[in-house]
Structure formats: C-alpha cells, structure tokens
Amino acid sequence: MENVNTIFVEGSPDVQALDFASYVSDIKGEENENSPYYLEIKALVDSEKFDEVYQKFVDESDLLLTLDDQETELAFNHLLAVIVGSKAASSEALLQKLIEALVKAEGKASVRMQILSNYFNVLPATFPLRYTLFVAVVNVASQNNRMEAVASQLKSVDSWLQQWGASKSQIRELYLLLSEKLNTAQYYKQSYEYALKYLASFDSDAEEAKPFAKKAIVDAIKMPGVFQFEDLSKMPSVQLLQGETIFKLMNIFLNGSLTEYNQFVAENGQAVQEFGFNEEDNINKIRMLTLASLGSEHLGNELSYSAVCDALKIDADEVEFWVIDVVRAGLIEAKLNQLNETVTISRSTRRVFTTKDWEELGAKMKGWKQSLSDILKVVSNAKVIAQSSVNANGNATVSITTNAATNANA
C-alpha cells in the first residue's frame, strides 16, 4: 500500500463519461452507440445530470467484478478517474458507495484488495476518504484471510491518522477494528497493542470503555505470546473493574503464581468457565510466567530442578522442556546443567516493574557510571605518564596497577 500509482484518463468529463458508457455497453454485449445503456447515459450527459450519470456507473460495480482480474482492476481504476475528474457535486458520496460495493462484494478478494489499495495510493494524502478506504482494506482483508497485507502497514497507521485529521471517535473505531481483526487472524501481539491503544484513548470517559476492558483482559489471557499485563492493568477503564472476578484473575497473570491460579480456580471455577478459557492454555501460560518470576528472584544463581518442579507442579523430566519453552518465548535466558540438575538464569523479564526495581536499577546505573569514571581516570593517567616517559627516554614501558588490574603499554 506504500507504492503510489497514477491513473490517467484523457478527455473532458463529458467525453470520459461517454467512453465509460461505451465500455459498459460492450461488457453487456450491446451495440455501442445504439445500445439502450449508452443512449440513456448520453441523454443524461446532454442534460448535464452528471450525478445521475456517475451513480449509474457505480451501480454497475457487480458487472465489472465479473471480468477477469486484470480487466476488473483496470475497469475500477478507470471508474475512479472518471468520478474524481467529473462535474458531479457528489463525487465523494459516489466514491463512498463504490467503496462500500467493493467491501460487500463476494469473491475476487485479491483483486478487490488491489483496487482499494490503488484508490488509497492514488488519492491525495489528505483526501477525506483515505480513512474510509483504509477501513475498507482492513475489512476486505479480514473477510478473505489476507490480514498479512494490513499487518505490514501498521507502523504507518498513527502518522496516517494524524495526516487525515481523524477525529477521536474515528481513531477509536480504527483501533478497535484493528484489534478485533488482527486477533481473528492470530496476529495476537499486534491485536493486543491496538487493544491497549483503544483503551488508552479513554480517560475521563473511562466508564464507557468498561465492557471492552473486560474483553481485553480475557483476550490477553487467551492470546499466545502475550505475557505482559502491567500496561493493561494501569488503564483507567480496567481499574474500574477492581473487585470483579476478571480483575482478580488478571492480577494473578500480572504478578501471581501457579499456586495462586489454582487456588483462584478452585474458588471461582464457574466464573472461569463462563469467560470461555481453555484451562490447559491458562495453566501453560501461568507456568511460563511463574518460571519468569522465579528467574527474576534467582538471577545469576543456580536454581535446582527440584525448585522448578515445586513452583511449576511438574515432574523432573519436564523441567528442561519448560525452560526451553520459556526461553523461546523471550521471557528468560538460561543455561541448563543436566549433570547437576540446575538452571542458571542470566536474564529474566520482570512481570511488574516496581519502585524497588527502579531504585535497584538506579543504583546499578550509578555503580556503572562510577566504574566508567574510574577507568577513564586510569586511562588518562596512563597516557600522561606514557607521554612523559617517551619524551624523556624516547621509548618506555609503563605499567599501572589498579583495582581493576588495568595495564597500559606504550
């Protein structure tokens, strides 16, 4: 959708209209200039009833879709050029109807998407219907399992919305549409991203988003590959759900353990079923999150297989499979020692970043800063001493010993 196309049609609007009428007559199998369709259009053109002319052209959308794919694309490109360059006062409304016809049509998914993409690229960046066209592309892509074409363009959506001058309600509608369609197409992380964007657009009116907030929690728990719940938990509309069963469940996935999850299910089994969860999927996800938390608590230290077994409620022969799965999910980096039956976790994703975590990170940064400062002083002193020795003797070897055992030779 990033390649800009150009469509040229020669002649005045009157000539373009009659040319297109002749083209449609051919498709209908009628004799061109004496056909009923052509004569009807010519009478309207002669009467300068251009709105009616172009409406009749738009009404032939289904006919144009019966052509082979290449001819269909050319026909719709031709029709766009005719309408945009027309004398019709309602050209935008006509294009709106044409877009709707392409969305509602059945079959020819690829060519319909190509036509809509052509329209999107040809029309000026600030053209009012660019938003409508993008929504149409998303809907057609979703209908026909082609969301990969949309997913590749997501990085441009926010800049496009700004470019189009989209209203707050339009932005929300698009975020919601993208979240739903991407979820259906199993682009889970992107879907979750747009669910968060949608919820973030509500602040003082957070009450309005409560129904979707509940759905967003359920979807996030169900989505494979979604392990971060902190941003979701902070949304104003989600905070309004405090005290509800789904909020309590979200908090377990936010920073709880498998033991806490099992206890929750024992107390709220019926409610969990009503949310439509797959119990096995939930247990798998909370196990992975539990291991990530275990890694954060024992970062850099050896963790016994038995400790992993106890936390994840698994047998010893399953430990390595679970560690590998959590590594693949990007939640930890770890090394397995099969001989000693230990796991050493060198990096672990923190599920919640608390004030204490920020303080610890700040202390580490100060330590690194001081270490770099000390090293720079050593290097600077070494250069001075080395230069002095060279000036005095012409050639020298300088050895400097510090706490870091840094040596410099010159």
- Encoded tokens for 139: 């809907």
**pLDDT digit string, tens, across residues 12-47:** 888 888 999 999 999 988 876 788 999 999 999 999
**pLDDT digit string, tens, across residues 284-338:** 999 999 999 999 999 999 999 999 999 999 999 999 999 999 999 999 999 999 9
Burial 399-408 (b: 16+ CB within 10 A, else e): eeeeeeeeee
Do residues 347 and 333 lie in contact, with contact meaning Cβ atoms separated by under 8 Å? yes
Looking at the structure, do residues 96 and 139 belong to the same domain, yes or no? yes
Looking at the structure, do residues 68 and 194 belong to the same domain, yes or no? no
User: Whole-angstrom Cα distance, residue 119 to residue 134?
Assistant: 10
Give the end of a domain, one of 147, 177, 205.
147
CA proximity to 44, closest of 59, 55, 32, 29: 55
- Does a structural domain hold residue 367? no
**pLDDT digit string, tens, across residues 218-243:** 999 999 999 999 999 999 999 999 99
Looking at the structure, do residues 142 and 10 belong to the same domain, yes or no? yes
Strand 332-337, strand 302-304: pairing:
unpaired
Contacts 24+ apart (CB under 8 A), 102-111: 102/61, 102/76, 102/136, 102/140, 103/136, 103/139, 103/140, 105/61, 105/62, 105/65, 107/65, 108/65, 108/69, 108/72, 109/140, 109/143, 109/144, 109/146, 110/69, 110/144, 110/146, 111/69, 111/72, 111/73
Looking at the structure, do residues 22 and 125 belong to the same domain, yes or no? yes
Give the pLDDT mean for 379-398.
67
Give the end of a domain, one of 228, 252, 277.
277
CATH code for the domain in which residue 300 is found: 1.10.10.10
Task: Classify residue 301 by its DSSP letter.
Answer: S
Tally helices (H) and strands (E) across the chain.
21, 3
Looking at the structure, do residues 8 and 82 belong to the same domain, yes or no? yes
**pLDDT digit string, tens, across residues 131-153:** 999 999 999 999 889 899 899 99
- Does a structural domain hold residue 161? no
Looking at the structure, do residues 253 and 306 belong to the same domain, yes or no? no
CA proximity to 66, closest of 21, 120, 20, 29: 29
CA proximity to 318, closest of 287, 289, 339, 354: 287
Looking at the structure, do residues 334 and 243 belong to the same domain, yes or no? no
- Does a structural domain hold residue 70? yes
Task: Classify residue 156 by its DSSP letter.
Answer: G
Q: In what order do the strands lie in the sheet with 302-304?
A: 302-304, 342-348, 332-337
- Does a structural domain hold residue 354? no
pLDDT for 7 equals 47
- Does a structural domain hold residue 402? no
Looking at the structure, do residues 128 and 2 belong to the same domain, yes or no? yes
User: Whole-angstrom Cα distance, residue 74 to residue 18?
Assistant: 17
The DSSP element (H or E) to which 126 belongs, if any, is: none
Tally the domains of the chain. 3
CA proximity to 259, closest of 294, 286, 281: 286
For the whole model, what pTM was predicted? Answer: 0.79
- Does a structural domain hold residue 377? no
- Give residue 332's domain range: 288-348
Give the end of a domain, one of 348, 363, 381.
348
- Does a structural domain hold residue 382? no
Looking at the structure, do residues 67 and 193 belong to the same domain, yes or no? no
Looking at the structure, do residues 130 and 5 belong to the same domain, yes or no? yes
Give the pLDDT mean for 177-191.
96
Banded pLDDT at 360 (limits 50, 70, 90):
low
User: Whole-angstrom Cα distance, residue 307 to residue 313?
Assistant: 10
Percent pLDDT > 70 in the chain is 87
pLDDT for 406 equals 43
User: Partners of 344 in the beta sheet?
Assistant: 302, 335
Looking at the structure, do residues 83 and 174 belong to the same domain, yes or no? no
Looking at the structure, do residues 23 and 120 belong to the same domain, yes or no? yes
- Does a structural domain hold residue 157? no
198 burial (CB, 10 Å; 0-12 / 13-18 / 19+) is buried
173 burial (CB, 10 Å; 0-12 / 13-18 / 19+) is middle
